[in-house]
Amino acid sequence: MPSKKIIQKHPLAIRWFHWINFPVLAVMIWSGLLIYWANDVYRLGWGDRTVLKFFPDSFNKALNIPFRLAEGMSLHFVFMWLFAINGILYFFYLLFSKEYKFIFPNKRSFKEAWLVLLHDLRIKKGLPPQKKYNAAQRIAYTGVIFMGLGSLLTGLAIYKPVQLNWLCSLLGGYEWARAEHFILTLLFSLFFLVHLVQVILAGWNNFASMIRGFETRSISAEMKSSDANSTQPSGEKDITNAAT
Amino acid sequence: MKTLEEKILDNRSIRNKTILSFSFFILFLIACFAGWNWLQNQPNDQGALKPLRTVLNANEKIFSAILSNDHLAKTYPLSAAAVRVRKNGDAGLKGDFDPDAWKLQLIRKPGDTLFIGLEEIRSLPRTEIVFDFKCIEGWSQVTHWAGVKFTDFTKRYGLDEQTLKKYTGLHTPDDQYYVGIDNKSMLHPQTILCYEMNGKPLPLNQGAPLRLIIPVKYGVKHLKRIGTIYFSDHRPPDYWYERGYDYFGGL
């Protein structure tokens, strides 16, 4: 019977955490927009010059954001529980399953991440050997875990600035904590866009692995590539073309 | 060293596993859309979708448990206080009003109402606070207030029994604006019945002659121009609560 090699890439639990987080984070960002509108003071610029206002009136109007503060708050302070619980369970799963070893950067990652970047920008060919994730992914995915923690803490600080006075002070005070919460949301949005592009570029096999858990490889191709890479130490088998 | 598990599998098994996984995935997506739709079509409870209101009420239980008299709003030196103090709402401040004829109506129990003039309130121990006033809209401003601590007020008028009830209700004289506040927050040491701002008598648009300053709450609870104070075991009506906001509004 014709067969293929399958490589188990994402455990079931991680797939669930990932896909639950997606709509929950979407609701958090959406309701955050409804809340932020009521005091939309942030902008990119210097002095009197504004390069980009957060957010332009046309953006607010197009998404029907104005005058929905109460609705935004009610959604935000309900879905925050799902975001927090899912994130915390995910983090502990990473630790106990030792999956973090695939994700957290190691000592080579920071140097290799440059090579990955040059490769992705089509400046240089060839990737350093990798396991589940390349160096740039390790840094990005670990970063996004810390961003989640950051959103949780800055959010708590502006939600209960008196009861959690210590946390609020630690983050630089109420106004800073609000700005940090906002910046983290922008970073999440940016991460999402890059992630989306990378997933599209990486192709079907990679995307499917986030749903069915495994990638497939034709056996003949695998034999050729293992001949070519015979110098690679065992257990360091890389997944090529898994750029996300 | 942790590695990825690999094995050889026949194409048919791969196909079946793929179909099964994707079926679950599509079901999950449908469930998300259906859940969102279901939520949006739920009845309203005081301006908020009912399931959300249920969780907001549960949040109140959780976060009023960490509410403590030992947790104080951060205070600032006098020099940090804003000269031009921001003000938002004017509900309850419209129409004719004669501050000189004003008396605070304190309902201790049905049939036992005290009418208290401003001079009498001014004769009680004076407390000042400079703190970061926080509006529910997201802005905040360091401002300077003075008045009588609510706990000094309750001592003077013998309200121990009343404050054992769960809530205090406050209304403007025209009953157009009203708030309900849990008594744990009312008895917080920074809660003040306030008659001065920046060392001068309160201006009319800041709630002269007497307003509430309660740093453990959002600004919407700092009712301007207090007409009536009363006590209840049930939630007193609350203007913004009826318009979809959280009842607790605690910081």
B62-115 pLDDT, tens digit per residue, is 999 989 888 999 999 999 999 999 988 889 888 888 888 999 999 998 889 999
What's the mean per-residue pLDDT of chain A? 86
* Burial state string for A20-30 with b = 16 or more CB within 10 A and e = fewer than 16: bbebbbebbee
**What is the number of structural domains in chain A?**
1
Q: Is the pLDDT of residue B199 over 60?
A: yes
Dihedral pair phi/psi, residue B96, rounded to 5°: -75, 140
pLDDT digits (tens, 9 = 90+) for B148-175: 999 999 999 999 999 999 999 999 999 9
Determine whether the interchain pair A165/B74 forms a contact, defined as Cβ–Cβ distance below 8 Å.
Answer: yes
List the single residue in B55, B134, B246 with the smallest CB-CB distance to A174.
B134
Is A171 strand, coil or helix?
Answer: coil
Q: Does residue A204 belong to any structural domain of this protein?
A: yes
Are B192 and B213 in contact, with CB atoms under 8 Å apart? yes
CB pairs under 8 A between A and B: 134
Q: Does A106 touch chain B (CB under 8 A)?
A: no
Q: How many CA atoms, within 13 angstroms, populate the side-chain half-sphere of residue A20?
A: 18
Q: Which domains does chain B have, with CATH numbers?
A: 74-83+101-243 (3.90.420.10)
Its domain, for residue A144, covers 80-228
B72 vs A: CB within 8 A = yes
Q: In this structure, which amino acid lies at residue A58?
A: S
DSSP-derived pairing of the beta strands B228-232 and B104-109: parallel
- d(Cα A36, Cα A50) in Å, to the nearest integer? 18
Is pLDDT of A10 > 80? yes
Residue A58 belongs to some domain of the structure: no
Asked if residue A125 is part of any domain, the answer here is: yes
Question: Buried b vs exposed e over B16-28: b needs ≥16 C-beta within 10 Å?
Answer: eeeeebeeebeee
Residue A187 · residue A140 · CB < 8 Å: no
Look at residue B171 and give its three-state secondary structure. strand
Is residue A13 domain-resident?
no
Q: Is residue A210 part of a domain?
A: yes
B51's enclosing H/E stretch is: helix B50-65
- Within 8 A by CB and 6+ apart from B243, the residues are A70, B47
CB proximity under 8 Å: B 32-51 to A: 32, 36, 47-49, 51
Q: Which of B8, B21, B32 sits opposite A5 (nearest CB)?
A: B8
Interchain pair B8, A211: CB under 8 A: no
* Structural domain contains residue A114: yes
Place of tokens 């010059």: A49
Question: Does the residue A39 lie in any domain?
Answer: no
Contact B14 A4 (CB under 8 A): yes
Within a domain: A242: no
Which of A39, A169, A235 has its CB closest to that of B3?
A235
Structure tokens at B119: 């001079």
Task: Specify whether the CB–CB gap between A238 and A131 falls below 8 A.
Answer: yes
pLDDT tens-digit map of A122-134: 777 777 777 778 7
Q: Does residue A91 sit in helix, strand or coil? A: helix
Q: State whether B52 and A74 contact (CB < 8 Å).
A: yes
Q: What is the DSSP letter of B125?
A: P
Considering only residues B8 and A234, tell me which one the structure prediction assigns the higher pLDDT.
B8
Length of chain B (residues): 251
Beta carbons within 10 angstroms of residue B110's beta carbon: 7
Cα B147 from Cα A119, distance rounded (Å)? 67
The chain B residue lying nearest A23, using CA atoms, is B32
For residue A1, give both structure tokens: 């019977």
- Chain B residue closest in CA terms to A100: B2
pLDDT band for position B210 (cuts 50, 70, 90): very high
pTM: 0.88
Interface with B, mutate which of A74, A130, A168, A204 (most B CBs under 10 A) = A74
Query: Considering only CB atoms, which chain A residues are within 8 Å of B18?
Result: 208, 212
Whether the CB of B61 is below 8 Å from some CB of chain A: the reply is no
Query: Could you tell me if B158 lies within 8 Å of chain A, comparing CB atoms?
Result: no
For A35, the closest of B36, B51, B138 (CB atoms) is B138
- Do residues B72 and B197 touch, judged by C-beta distance below 8 A? no
With an 8 Å Cβ cutoff, is B7 touching chain A? yes
Distance CA B36, CA A27 (A): 10
